[in-house]
Amino acid sequence: MKKLIFGLIISFGFWSCAEQEPDTYSGQKLEFQLFKSSDFDYSGNLTVNELTSGDLEFIIQLDGA
């Protein structure tokens, strides 16, 4: 049993030394605060991230009732 655990730890060590995946984001990021504009009590944030492929990712976080 100890040999099995030791073998698993060693194999995990080799597996964790593999090449890292390329970065998904370019580092360009914009954040906008969203305000209440109707009778509904919502506010939040809009985050725009640029991907390395040139595409955009939009994340909308809403807070409220």
Q: Taking 70 as the threshold, does the pLDDT of residue 14 lie above it?
A: no
pTM above 0.75, yes or no: no
pLDDT in tens, 26-58: 889 999 999 988 888 889 999 999 999 999 999
Measure the CA–CA gap between 27 and 12, rounded to whole angstroms: 30
pLDDT value of residue 34: 93
Kindly state the average pLDDT of the residues 2-9: 76
Task: Note the maximum CA span of the chain.
Answer: 65
Edge-to-edge strand order for the sheet containing 42-51?
25-34, 42-51, 56-64
Band (19; pLDDT cuts 50, 70, 90) = low
